Structure 1
């Protein structure tokens, strides 16, 4: 076959991801904490960006570009969209502390109550080391005790085996095991246990409640997990009343005694969107100003330093930084606008949920929102990732409102989340003499207009960690 050369022209389309487009997409899917970190990094790198700490009017007067504002969207009682309305004064109801704002006086910083501040949090290791120094006196004992402390997992159990630790330290197994047995009595009780049974038994001994019946109960925790109470009660050789008291005592124990130490305070979720009842009825949706980055482009500084640029390299650098700063502010503004659009449509679609409860949550997909706001599904997906809305019913992630649709007897769809909630409500209302099987739950739901299969009921029940009807019947037979 002959080899030849020829010139051909072909037409094709391709999407080029410019750095600016990549930046806008990245900002859209960031959580408010990640966005804050990203903006802080840009503030350090770009000399033309600065943090805005002044009102927008003053910023505009200086020729600076203001940061994105937290606009507000109102919806009437029927879920229809009303006029846009900005009302920054209403935000005080969400953030002001009880009893008003700052107190009167000379305006000096309030330094009262310094002696009431909480001391530094003591870690589990420090707490146990302090007890070990009191209990043991020889260097060998203290070294083994410290090694045992360092071998604990986050729940307080000994990670690994005593034999492995003894080999690592080069001491006899009996020495390590003897010290571990003594350290089982440290506070909190149950730390240094090798198993759940040993942990619970230690706590019962601490309370002087480890009798033969309790020992039989601890030795058969597998039967307790399977809720085989009848066999377990026979092994313990107690009547129903004593058995119920034993279970109550067991429930009062701590299976993970170390979790109370070294775990910092739980950080509350900071919502990106605030929702409240509107003045004319319905709901108002606005962006949380505390999560909006306050950045602006200092045009005056740019004009000042660009006038003293010495060569083309410096001018090119300044132009690149100016372009990057302008792109960032526009991307932040676009991000805020897009989040508000998606949140507003979500509130409109799920209006019944906010007024009547979870049983009225409607099935919803990304496409449903994307078609209304005229954006791509991937954009809606990025907007709803890691974004939270504070509502009168609590704080929810935006993705919570997207649920699959289950068929209805009359053709109307039902939200899968609402169906799960209904199944749980039916099971919670059970009595020991009337435990509902999965088939019976299917009959009840179909009578309520929800077309659902038995295997779907079983799947939802297992996802909520609700045992089967035979297990629930045995459990309810024992009154706690």
Structure 2
């Protein structure tokens, strides 16, 4: 075959560097954006922080009809701790054993950080580890060096909750041959006498029993010890009928013992662990202005950047400088940051416009919403809406929420309308919160009640939503 030349026309999508930068900045969270900008500031001498008095860019402010007023009245919003308001949390988590949820959902326990001294305990947890706290206590004891070393070995074997996960026999094998196992048992007794009470336990039952043993003796404590030592599984399963039969005590006595057990701390060492607190800076602030819910950019989240005028003037007089590319990069970055927040504000305002009932009445009024609805309204692609709503947060009078929190599937109603999954979960939470604790509502009963309100939800769907809310099943919610 002879070689020949052929012309062929074809189309292909090419992303310019500026477009690639725009997409990358849009999908970053506020924290990630700050980290990215720090890198640019170190590498590009033409870029600098703008320390002058700051206000949101005009392009972003004009995205909503009343946003000019919102921007003028908008205060700086400090970093907000990420709480359960970012998701549907608030109830205690259900543990595999079936009874840990008792302590996390009701009441408080010594050292839980939920009392008046919570702030002081947070500081202590952040500055003192459990090991340091225990070593400080045994340092005050007049113990022989041999006994002191054995207690230290047991302290080193504790987990973060203060439990001794290895058996004494296993630990004995790791020690020199001249150490007797009885010496370890004595060391364990010394360890279990330290604060916090319950430390050094080898099981939840032993941990609770140690705490009960430290309380003043009375009939309630005696009954609680009996339940903890031999019938904790019945209490976890709310089998009060068998407990009455086994203990021979009436409902009032069992109720008092149950309340005492719930006041204990099954994780005595947890208060000394490192506190993992995540912080977010809301990108958008929502407030009601003259009867209208309006979104505005949070000034604290908006980066204050500008082009260095001195270098820019020098470059304007010198052609062919090696810094020309960095000048163009700096201009692109400043422009794309403005575009990023403009897009975030437009999407946020569109969400607010569609979820006004949520801001007025809460989760029960959340309407179904999908990405395509916002994309069609703003003339953007669904992928752009997805990037905007991920890891971007909105500060509202009802809490701080990720933008994607306002999107959800829908369930058809008898009237031909639709109800959002978020609203259904809120209704389930309300119904369970108002139920008779002696006769809690089953999933089937919850399904029937919602059906009477025109919301058709299967029992399995109710169970799925209930589990998503960390609400235990009916048998674990029953009380005496």
What TM-score, normalized by structure 1, do the two folds share?
Answer: 0.80
Segments of structure 2 that go 5 or more residues without pairing to the other structure are 79-122
Detail structure 1 runs of 4+ shifted over 6 Å in the superposition: 3-8, 305-309
Please give the per-residue CA displacement for 1:299-358, whole angstroms capped at 9, x wherever unaligned. Answer: 32243378689xx7xx33x12322221222122111111110110000000011111222
Query: CA offset at residue 212 of structure 1?
Result: 6.1
* Matched-pair contact (CA < 8 Å) for 2:71–2:297: no
- Report what 2:65 is aligned to: 82
Query: CA offset at residue 424 of structure 1?
Result: 2.2
Map 1:1-400; keep pairs closer than 5 Å. 11-55=9-53, 68=57, 71-72=60-61, 82-92=65-75, 121-135=127-141, 137-170=143-176, 171-209=179-217, 211=222, 214-264=225-275, 266=277, 269-279=280-290, 281-304=291-314, 315-316=321-322, 318-400=323-405
Query: CA offset at residue 388 of structure 1?
Result: 1.5
- Report what 2:81 is aligned to: none
* Matched-pair contact (CA < 8 Å) for 1:193–1:199: yes
What TM-score, normalized by structure 2, do the two folds share?
Answer: 0.80
The 1:46/1:164 distance shift into structure 2, 3 A limit, reads farther
Aligned-CA RMSD value: 3.1
* Matched-pair contact (CA < 8 Å) for 1:274–1:389: yes
* Matched-pair contact (CA < 8 Å) for 2:389–2:404: yes
The 1:20/1:207 distance shift into structure 2, 3 A limit, reads farther
The 1:212/1:88 distance shift into structure 2, 3 A limit, reads closer
Query: 2 CA distance for matches of 1:408 and 1:21?
Result: 43
The 1:88/1:375 distance shift into structure 2, 3 A limit, reads closer
- SS state of the match for residue 394, structure 2? strand
* Matched-pair contact (CA < 8 Å) for 1:191–1:258: yes
Segments of structure 1 that go 5 or more residues without pairing to the other structure are 57-65, 75-80, 96-117
Query: CA offset at residue 230 of structure 1?
Result: 1.6
The 1:361/1:87 distance shift into structure 2, 3 A limit, reads closer
Query: 2 CA distance for matches of 1:159 and 1:437?
Result: 37
- SS state of the match for residue 322, structure 1? helix
The 1:87/1:241 distance shift into structure 2, 3 A limit, reads closer
- SS state of the match for residue 269, structure 2? helix
* Matched-pair contact (CA < 8 Å) for 2:71–2:296: no
Query: 2 CA distance for matches of 1:82 and 1:308?
Result: 44
Please give the per-residue CA displacement for 1:409-454, whole angstroms capped at 9, x wherever unaligned. Answer: 1111101110111122222222367643433333322221212222
Which shifted more, 384-393 or 299-308?
A: 299-308
Query: 2 CA distance for matches of 1:429 and 1:411?
Result: 28
- SS state of the match for residue 329, structure 1? helix
Query: 2 CA distance for matches of 1:330 and 1:93?
Result: 23
* Matched-pair contact (CA < 8 Å) for 2:393–2:402: yes
The 1:255/1:6 distance shift into structure 2, 3 A limit, reads farther
- SS state of the match for residue 335, structure 2? helix
* Matched-pair contact (CA < 8 Å) for 1:213–1:237: no
The 1:452/1:169 distance shift into structure 2, 3 A limit, reads same
Which shifted more, 454-463 or 188-197?
A: 454-463
The 1:432/1:302 distance shift into structure 2, 3 A limit, reads closer
